[in-house]
Structure 1
Amino acid sequence: MPIIKDYPKLKGFTQHGVVFEKIVGDERAIGICPFCNKKDKFDSHVETLIWGCKSCGINGNFEKFMEYRSQKYTELFKGQHVRKLSKDRSLKPQTLRAFDVGWSGLFYTYPIRGNSKQITTDIQRYTIGKKILSTSGSHKSLIVPKELFNSQRVWLMEGGPDTMACWEALQKLGRKEDVYGSPGAASFPNKLADLFYRKNVVVIFDNDDAGKRGSIKIFKVLIGIAKQIRFIHWPDSIKDKFDFRDCYNKYKQDAEKTIKFIERNLKTLPPVPEGETLQEPSKIAAKQINPSGEGLSRDKAVEGFRKWLLLKDSEVIDVMFGAVFANRMEIDPLWMFLVAPPGGSKSELLMSLTDAPLIIAKTTITPASLVSGMNTGSLGDPSLIPRLDKHVLVIKDFTTILSMNIIQREEIFGVLRDAYDGEFSKDFGNGIRREYKSKFGIIAGVTPIIEGFSNSNTILGERFIKYKIKYRGRIDVGRDVIRRALNNIKKVTPMRDELKIIASKVLDRPISTEDSPTINESRLNGIIKLSQWIANLRGVVSRERYTGQINFKPVAEIGTRLAKQLCTLAFGISYWKGDSSVSDSTYQTIINVACDTAPDRVEEIVRQIYIRQVKLDQFISVKELSSWTRFPEGTVRYLLQDLTLLGITKRNQKKRSHDWKLTSSIMRIMNELGIYKNLLSWADVTKQ
């Protein structure tokens, strides 16, 4: 006991037969192995709980230890121990064996392994007449039988005995429907909500306040994930704490009568304890799978966001909501980055979308979370890609993905590239094949580090467009944003809750083909030229890494996809604004997105040359450009060489010095577009 007092993490081992006798080097606990009963052979690290037996040769982490012990307990569960527990629980022996119930010699056990990897994360212990106990140091999972059917309809029960009783009743009726058990009314592990994706869930919790509050929690967690959820509403005449097993026994274990009674008393909303109300019903309802509300006007939404966030103008809100609505139209998906430095409000904007309908929000993603090759058997496919169909994936911080090691990062990009067109397939070495049809949008927040990737066009090809959140000022940029953040420092939770409610109301609005805005021929031609302009600026000059030699003849992309993306966003913004056609202000927003989508260093060079070329009609030197852009002369020279290879700039052939102009073809496109007309009206080209 003194060892456990000093090293409490070891307690779970001792609950399942390990007898620790000594500590070696302050980090190794040595004792009697419960598998072979050999003294001084069981060795565990006191913190990590990595263990092994020098006699048995078995080893692993704490979860593996519980798995092995559970298997041993199952072997010992026979004879009088089976009969005794069967009588106590009023359950058939085959039901107990279906859940791998075991006998330790002192208590009954059953493993808890209802998770995507089917890992044993707990062993629950039961002594007749006493409460069920969890293993110290265990983690929450769901109670499941050893065989699952991957059924469309699933039952979610409270506790192990009810889970087993429900499974037994369904088996009697020949219904191959899966039954899961939450370890307790308030113990449902939120991280396992994905197990119920697109399932019809029947929730049967106990007839007490704890069971009702647990049902409300399930409702909040699974709404928008499960296809349908229904809850038991026990009749008023039923006694307090009545549960499924009581019902089963009341009908003398008549499965048909029991299930019919349950199904007669199912409702779509959870039961609520007396004197309480269902908290934030509008927020919960907003996560419904199909939007069916009236939405929220642009003016009210903008007012709500500006109450908490300091924004230069409402354009970023137009772009964000416009991108979501665009992805609900029957056209190609729209993938977009919101670009801002750390602390630039992008996270708060994107977090407001997390409770909205048809939104799946993730902090980050991994290759395995996008498409998993794990063989989870009847638990189904845990991959994210199929779940994203007809949804928008919101990634709060794409920068963490850019910071991953290159192998992992490129694997993510490869999956997204393949999935963009709506179809994806992949074969794994274990024989698993994943094949999906899934069309989805992406809106991701990212810092300006993205330019280091997109300048070389290595990141997801041309599949993302960008919008940079604008701020006032240069040296003191962000001062007012910081002040507003400090003013909100004690109101973060109400701020986020209110923004989520606003965004949920905005996006709780169905969209149909008849609602699609129109675009006139002039603006359509403008978008075509914008896409050509960006495509040229995004052209890639591939150079040998060490010598700088050109690997192949440079070529720019064809702007077809860009044109579709810009047009799609224009439609989405127009729909969000309530416009029947693309307006002048929306078209100007599209121009701003186009400028932001071009590589920032290239766009800066082109802009500075264009303004002076229009005003002065003369060649510009590298030194002058370096002064105007604040880029080093070496960087300017390098970029100009690439732009010349792409046909965007040309060098003055009459002088030996390196002076540059934009080519007539790119000037013609830019003049027709009027991209920088506002800058031309006030720019003083004499200043450096």
Structure 2
Amino acid sequence: MVQAKTTNQQKAADPKYRVRKDGYEWIFRPRELIIKSMTNGDIAYRSCYPIDFYWVQNSCQEKITRSAQPILYGDQKRAQAIPSITSILVKVANNWHPPTAEEIKKQGQKKELSKLSGIHQVDLQTLLGVADRICVYPHELLEIILAVAISSQMNMQPPIWLMIIGAPSSSKTELVKLFDSLHDVFAYYVDALTENAFTSGYVPPDGSEPKDLLPLLDNKCLIVKDYTTLFSMREDTIKKILGDLTGIFDKDFSKFSATRGNVRYSSLFSQIGCVTPAIFNKHYRYMNQLGARFLYYKIPQLTKDELNKGFAIANSSNDREATIKAVKNIASACFMQTVDKLPATLKNFKEKDAVTQKMLQHLSVFLAKARSLVMTQQNAFKNDKGDNVSYHEIVDKQEEQPWRALQQLTHLAKALAIARGKDSISHQEIATVRNVAMNSMPIDRAKVLAIFKEKTDTTSKELSNNAGIDQRTAQKLLKELLELGILDMRADADEITGAHKGNRYFPVIEFEDILRNYNNIDVKGGTASNGPDHKNYDKITPEMLNSSPEKILF
């Protein structure tokens, strides 16, 4: 074998150092290997090595070109490097292959999305303004959706999983679909989840790889447009899918089947799901299987003014399809521009100060208690008249510790701040996160605690009348909240006779401001320039927060 010495400059220009095969060109430069598409010039693979390559000048070249796996040797003075070079080529052969048609399509999508970063700067305020042209919605909801999508690029563990609860035609689907151009690149849209969607035991008879959803979700945001379909399945199927989600939440997931053996994936992704209140309330017991994995956002009822605005949009003569397309482009541009700046944003992002940290801890303790499990059993006794009187007795409780809640709320607050163009978590993010926390508990408990927004205390009878629930159910819920340490109780005596009339329930001092001022802060939108939407935010100053954060914030 004859080896020809060549300078690095000659090597870089010499066509002998280029191999063309299957539409790709392998270019061997000094200490660098590049594999480039001959169709569009895109670089499919590039890697640098600490060893100079040079070409073999002999009759092997034809064989080398045909196999597209060149045999390279190190310089004669570095013959010991030959095994290293061989291992490099083996690694390339194992880790690189010409892209499939699907991968080429994704590359095209990435190019199209990258163009969005080059158009004029699109901020969140612009997005909120144009989205107002297609539907009526709470501004903070679109901000939360954007934040959850962005969080998929921030390697947050645990991830942010959000369930949006809204009545039919409440714009929840329209809002999540604004980002559908991100599909396959930064997001993954599915209409519903099937029984073996994440990993399947099916082995294709043609020998091809099984199509599992889970590996496709890594570093993306999974968007399930309708969880209602899931809850219409058989009970065992629902439990199976929710059981899979429980394991998947923690990133590493393995599943054994007789056909495929043990299949293991490591996939970290954020998630947004949509469901109607009727279906959610009916099947909430299934969601309890997921424990504290999801945060929830319930879309509020429209006011009269919002309803009139909705009619005006519906009756508009504008081309709705063209308008929606334009809003989608702006939404994707807003996402892309935020993600492009993400490395610098994260580098300069300020850590939580003592006040912010204290507020998030305060909220996490409340949320952990509010969504903890209390086990009761129904008992009965005979009263003086001989009638059977039933009541619920608490037999045990499973109280959640606040650590996961703290991580979830902190991650959401940070992603929200970045989506809003900030370099730190402000009181506006805390206000939005607090709204999410108030929705992230069992529906019936949230209904009870909403009473304290205007009332200082209540009895089971008053609660029954005000909330429209059965008095025995009201009594059971009040006992649960008393057991969890969210409410306190005192005897209610007749003012004249002093006779015992029952018990009155009221928030404990630690949480009374969270409950009594719930929704007093306008959280329709969180950007600093939202005008009227932020009139109540302006009332909260840093000086007020520093004086007593848990009192002033809520």
TM class by shorter chain equals 0.5 to 0.7
Take 1:552 and 1:314, find their aligned partners in 2: how far apart are those partners? 43
Take 2:36 and 2:254, find their aligned partners in 1: how far apart are those partners? 27
Take 1:358 and 1:316, find their aligned partners in 2: how far apart are those partners? 20
Partner of 1:659: 503
**Residues 154 and 342 (structure 1 numbering): CA distance in 2 closer, same or farther, change over 3 Å?**
farther
1:375 aligns with 2:219: no
1:362 aligns with 2:190: yes
- 1:316-352 CA distance string (max 9 Å, x none): 1211111112232132111001221010000000111
Take 1:405 and 1:595, find their aligned partners in 2: how far apart are those partners? 31
Take 1:563 and 1:454, find their aligned partners in 2: how far apart are those partners? 23
Asked if the contact 1:290–1:358 (Cα under 8 Å) also holds between the matched residues in 2, the reply is: no
Equivalent of 1:608 in 451, 458, 461: 451
Take 2:322 and 2:375, find their aligned partners in 1: how far apart are those partners? 50
Partner of 2:532: none
Take 1:393 and 1:672, find their aligned partners in 2: how far apart are those partners? 31
Partner of 1:201: 99
1:402-421 alignment to 2 at 5 Å? 402-421=231-250
Give, as a single letter, the amino acid of the residue that structure 1 aligns with 2:292: E
Equivalent of 1:301 in 124, 127, 141: 127
Take 1:652 and 1:422, find their aligned partners in 2: how far apart are those partners? 46
Take 2:186 and 2:254, find their aligned partners in 1: how far apart are those partners? 24
1:132-281 alignment to 2 at 5 Å? 173=66, 200-201=98-99, 223-224=105-106, 228=107
Partner of 1:520: 353
- SS of match in other structure, 1:620: coil
Take 1:378 and 1:502, find their aligned partners in 2: how far apart are those partners? 43
Give, as a single letter, the amino acid of the residue that structure 2 aligns with 1:223: K
1:315 aligns with 2:140: yes
1:344 aligns with 2:170: yes
- SS of match in other structure, 1:350: helix
Between 670-679 and 293-302, report the one with greater CA deviation: 670-679
Partner of 1:536: 369
**Residues 453 and 641 (structure 1 numbering): CA distance in 2 closer, same or farther, change over 3 Å?**
farther
Partner of 2:73: none
Give, as a single letter, the amino acid of the residue that structure 2 aligns with 1:468: K
Partner of 1:627: 465
Radius of gyration: which is bigger? 1
Displacement after TM superposition at 1:638 (Å): 2.6
Asked if the contact 1:530–1:594 (Cα under 8 Å) also holds between the matched residues in 2, the reply is: yes
Displacement after TM superposition at 1:672 (Å): 7.4
Give, as a single letter, the amino acid of the residue that structure 2 aligns with 1:507: F
Asked if the contact 1:295–1:507 (Cα under 8 Å) also holds between the matched residues in 2, the reply is: no
Take 1:415 and 1:337, find their aligned partners in 2: how far apart are those partners? 17
- 1:508-529 CA distance string (max 9 Å, x none): 1322231545432212111111
**Is there any run of 5+ residues in structure 2 with no aligned partner, and where?**
1-34, 40-64, 70-95, 381-390, 494-499, 522-535, 537-554
TM-score by length of 1: 0.54
Asked if the contact 2:166–2:298 (Cα under 8 Å) also holds between the matched residues in 1, the reply is: yes
Q: What is the CA RMSD across the aligned residues, in angstroms?
A: 3.8
Equivalent of 2:485 in 618, 626, 647: 647
Asked if the contact 2:461–2:471 (Cα under 8 Å) also holds between the matched residues in 1, the reply is: yes
Partner of 1:401: 230
- SS of match in other structure, 1:554: strand
- SS of match in other structure, 1:625: helix
Displacement after TM superposition at 1:541 (Å): 2.0
Displacement after TM superposition at 1:537 (Å): 1.4
- 1:63-100 CA distance string (max 9 Å, x none): xxxxxxxxxxxxxxxxxxxxxxxxxxxxxxxxxxxxxx
- SS of match in other structure, 2:415: helix
Take 2:117 and 2:245, find their aligned partners in 1: how far apart are those partners? 26
Partner of 1:330: 155
- SS of match in other structure, 1:612: coil
Asked if the contact 2:143–2:416 (Cα under 8 Å) also holds between the matched residues in 1, the reply is: yes
**Residues 352 and 491 (structure 1 numbering): CA distance in 2 closer, same or farther, change over 3 Å?**
same
**Residues 620 and 369 (structure 1 numbering): CA distance in 2 closer, same or farther, change over 3 Å?**
closer
Q: Which has the higher contact order (CA 8 A, sep 6+)?
A: 2
Take 2:356 and 2:362, find their aligned partners in 1: how far apart are those partners? 10
1:574 aligns with 2:413: no
**Residues 290 and 498 (structure 1 numbering): CA distance in 2 closer, same or farther, change over 3 Å?**
closer
Partner of 1:24: none
Equivalent of 1:472 in 288, 302, 310: 302
Asked if the contact 2:368–2:401 (Cα under 8 Å) also holds between the matched residues in 1, the reply is: yes
1:501 aligns with 2:399: no
**Is there any run of 5+ residues in structure 1 with no aligned partner, and where?**
1-151, 157-171, 177-197, 204-217, 230-282, 614-618, 682-688
**Residues 418 and 351 (structure 1 numbering): CA distance in 2 closer, same or farther, change over 3 Å?**
same
- SS of match in other structure, 1:458: helix
Give, as a single letter, the amino acid of the residue that structure 1 aligns with 2:129: E
Take 1:641 and 1:409, find their aligned partners in 2: how far apart are those partners? 30
Partner of 2:293: 463
Partner of 1:597: 440
Asked if the contact 1:337–1:443 (Cα under 8 Å) also holds between the matched residues in 2, the reply is: yes
Take 1:472 and 1:594, find their aligned partners in 2: how far apart are those partners? 21
Partner of 1:436: 265
Identity %: 20
Take 2:36 and 2:284, find their aligned partners in 1: how far apart are those partners? 45
Take 1:155 and 1:398, find their aligned partners in 2: how far apart are those partners? 45
Displacement after TM superposition at 1:485 (Å): 5.8
Displacement after TM superposition at 1:405 (Å): 1.6
Asked if the contact 1:308–1:488 (Cα under 8 Å) also holds between the matched residues in 2, the reply is: no
Partner of 2:518: 676
